[in-house]
Amino acid sequence: MTSSARIRTVRQRMHEIDPEPSHAMQVCDLVLQLFDQLGMVHGLGGAERELLEAAALLHDIGWSIGAKGHHKSALKLILEIDLPGFKAQERQIIANIARYHRKAHPHHDHAHFARLSQKQQRTVRVLASLLRIADGLDRSHLNAVERISCRVEADQVGLSLKCRTDCGAELYGFERKKELFTETLGLGIFIEGIEPA
């Protein structure tokens, strides 16, 4: 099954399960912008990009069960639902990325994370850190941020945002969710500019 066919299936599952698919679509768009522009920082490739795309589309399906612990519910659902074309290990990675889009950082005490190899654990940490930032940048669920431009310096990353509307909630969300990125990649990350779309 081709990559595009696999992602089409993921989108179908998202629309069937997620109570607010427009937010997932926006977060997916933003996180892929981050991934594509920060390749020299994370060093991951096309296979990981596809797993990130799937995780972003499915990260909030846990809301179908309830708000409390919806990140953990997302992990369980991703491991249970039918996702043709994805191998069991890929599903584990997708589920872990979605699980860590909020709350606790990945930890060896967490059973599903502990089952992954060291390389897979790093992949989850990196991709979850990007997903957190993208999720924070749609905190209002109003698709306020249209585009992100990244500038990489020696020890930090500056983001410039093009916004369709006021993005105060998004700035707050970003500040709350940037820590895993710094912890994982050893780089500071900050918003250096905002302009209207």
Q: Locate the domains of the chain by residue range.
A: 3-138
- The residues pairing with 158 across neighbouring beta strands, listed in sequence order, are 151, 190
Distance of alpha carbon 64 from alpha carbon 71, whole angstroms: 11
Q: pLDDT tens-digit profile of 141-172? A: 999 999 999 999 989 999 999 999 999 999 99
pLDDT over 70 for what percent of the chain?
Answer: 100
pLDDT at 137: 98
Q: Which amino acid is at 19?
A: P
Check the CA dihedral 55-28-178-48 and report its sign: positive
Over the chain (197 residues), the average pLDDT of each successive run of 10 is 94 97 98 98 98 98 95 98 96 98 96 98 98 98 98 96 97 98 98 95
Which CATH number does 3-138 carry?
1.10.3210.10
| Global pTM value | 0.98
